[in-house]
Amino acid sequence: MSRLLIIASVDAEADAVCAGLMGTWRPAPPKRLATSAPTSTPPAPARARPIPARDRQLLTAVRFGPYLARRSGDVTVLAAGVGGPAAAAGTATCLALAAGAGDGFDLVVTIGVAGGFPGQADLGDVVVADRIVAADLGAQSPPAFEATDDGDGPPPEVGFLDLAELGLGPAALAPHPGIVTQLAQTMDALGRPVRVGAIASVSTVTGTDARAGELAARYDPLAEAMEGYGAAVAASAFGVPFAEVRAICNPVGRRDRARWDLPGAMSALSAVSVLLAEFADTVDLTGVRPAAPAVATQRRDGPARGGPAAR
């Protein structure tokens, strides 16, 4: 049995997770009133009372400094805010205060909806990260060749140097392979496609096909979200293993709300959380340690300049 800290971004995602932890509710069969003799008008049924279909019903409010989380058994859910900084701050606060109280967490799982890269993850799919990439944290830079001073040459193309290429730290963090495998196997019970691969953490959500193509060429990710890398950095600082699970809500590319399926993705999050509760009861974290903080990015054209390939 392990204590899980689930980090979502907004309340709607955390609500979907908590709905799954509380179980599926269904109405009780109507009760018929006893009568001494048959009548031409059937008696009105007794008012149906919702009953729980599962045994995980109670949610307890838990205060971590300025944050209010919800807890069900060994699973605590926090809506930490949107983006990497908010996720890192919320994760670090919860880990520090829980450890100080002698009731520390064993695993941090970032969860929420995400965009899926075309051909990699479709609407309704669930993605389990084996790499969490800081996809737009770095520096823009022209290539090695420059335009000629006389103006006859082509203008310099803008390139990108990630954290590893700048020598400023890891551009990607990898969850422990054992956790990834156990999570993926647990998610197989969803009855929907479960993908394992890289999730790109961005500060600005992609809104054009050109930007989607750049990220796909640079990192070969399955999905794009915002909080995973920040939460993973915080977990690593405390020596706590981490993971990321996402439900695909929309295709990455030109921003078009008509192509989104937010209700379907939220429903998937509820289903995922049911399995995460079971995962907390069965996961084996023996010998699991956070990934070494020197994982470089993997490009389609070979290893990144910052170090060996991540895969």
Architecture per CATH, 4-24+51-303: 3-Layer(aba) Sandwich (3.40)
* pLDDT surpassing 90 at residue 55: no
Using CA atoms, how far apart are residues 89 and 124, in angstroms rounded to an integer?
Answer: 29
What is the distance between the alpha carbons of residues 278 and 136, in angstroms, rounded to a whole number?
35
In the chain, what percentage of residues exceed pLDDT 70?
Answer: 76
pLDDT in tens, 177-212: 999 999 999 998 888 899 999 999 999 999 999 999
Tokens representing 14 are: 């955390």
44-50 LR contacts (CB < 8 Å, sep 24+): 50/25, 50/26
Please say if the pLDDT value at position 134 is more than 80.
yes
Domain-by-domain residue ranges, the chain?
4-24+51-303
Residue 26: band (very low, low, confident or very high) from pLDDT cuts 50, 70, 90: very low
CB distance 57 to 36 below 8 Å: no
Between CA 171 and CA 39 the distance in angstroms is 76
Q: Report the pLDDT value the prediction gives residue 206, as an integer from 0 to 100.
A: 93
Please, which pLDDT band fits residue 157 given cuts at 50, 70 and 90? low
pTM as predicted: 0.78
